[in-house]
Structure 1
Amino acid sequence: MTDEPPEVDRLPDDVWETVVSNAPIPSVDLVVRSGDGVVLARRTNEPAKGEWFVPGGRIRKGETLREAVHRVARIELGVDVTVERELGAYDHLYEASDVADSGGKHYVAHGYVVTPDAAEFELDAQHDDVRVFAPEDLPSLHEYVEAYLVDAGILRPE
């Protein structure tokens, strides 16, 4: 893993606006299996504000996919993880964005199934709740989360 830089995982606003308005954002999303369930966190920002979602974030320049997986798990959940398997790449297209007049957001997300090294989670500011859901007790799911859970074998395809 790379050493964690002291700055927050954030680009300057003007740079972020240019990226969001003009290019897909490479990212990682984590299907976190814990006990008999899956960890979902409720988002406080766009896109997917208010949705129960898998942890995820953009990949930094010079960072490998697996380094990004570990960094995102530490930042968003306060844990390290073991990578169990890679699910592949997914296109995520959103009409909503945290950038005004950007035309939405486009992520090229690389999905991973991981297990945490701890049962307690510390959320970042992007989330207001985190829970471990048994497959039979899952809340209403965003279509992108549902696709991950199907591909991870947690849900059956409809």
Structure 2
Amino acid sequence: MLAENTFKTIVASTPLVSIDLLVRDTQGNILLGKRLNRPAQGAWFVPGGRVLKDEPIEQAYTRLLKIELGMDKTSSCFKGVYQHFYEDNFSEEPFTTHYVVLAYEVIFAGDIALLPVAQHNDYRWFSEMALLAHDDVHIHTKWYFQKDKQADNLITNLKLGI
């Protein structure tokens, strides 16, 4: 765990790498949690978290599945690389946050009442249509399900050779 001032310097100075979990149930609905922390505080957002220093992506994925969903490693579908820009950060200080996000889609058949409440204080299933229409779903979450953003992301990934 980094000292808070060190982490502030990192967030203010560099992009962070994270993994977002696009969690579906067996009917295709999307799991969102109501964010407790900044950035995106108060918005409905997908589960996920940062990749830690010296942590291989595969290990981060497995760790985040366990922490965020209580799941052991499961099959997933890589959905691409996204960028999230926020005007705020985890602290009260005035600097932005930039994430480079690796998005993975997974199926979840567990009980959402048992999910952790450190990052989200409420969980709900949304259809894609409801998610896209809901005012409190964060724009970065909506991007994963907007056809034009998916196409933009595919083009970017092809240009990058991903």
The question of whether the paired residues in 2 share the 8 Å contact of 1:87 and 1:112 is answered with yes
TM-score by length of 2: 0.78
In 1, Cα distance between equivalents of 2:58 and 2:94: 29
- AA in 2 matched with 1:132: W
Q: Which has the higher strand share?
A: 1
Identity across matched positions, percent: 36
> Which is helix-richer, 1 or 2?
2
The gaps in structure 1 that reach 5 residues or longer are: 1-9, 152-158
Equivalent of residue 123 in structure 2, options 130, 135, 139: 130
Taking a change above 3 Å as real, the CA distance of residues 32 and 55 of structure 1, as seen in their structure-2 partners, is: same
Shift of 1:84: 2.3
Q: In structure 1, what is the equivalent of residue 144 of structure 2? A: 148
**Aligned positions, number:** 143
Matching residue's letter, 1:131: R
Note the residue ranges of structure 2 that are not aligned, 5 or more in a row.
148-162
Write the mapping of 1:65-144 to structure 2, written as runs, cut at 5 A: 65-80=57-72, 82-116=74-108, 118-120=110-112, 121-138=114-131, 139-140=134-135, 141-144=137-140
Cα deviation 1:37-61 (Å, max 9, x = unaligned): 1111110111111111001111012
Give 3-state SS (helix, strand or coil) of 1:82's partner: coil
| TM-score, normalising length: structure 1 | 0.79
Q: What is the RMSD of the two structures over their aligned residues, measured on CA atoms? A: 2.1
Q: Residue 156 of structure 1 corresponds to which residue in structure 2? A: none
Amino acid at match of 1:31: L
Distance 1:32 1:94, change over 3 A: same
What is the distance in 1 between the residues matched to 2:57 and 2:71? 17
CA contact (8 A) 2:21 2:103 kept: yes
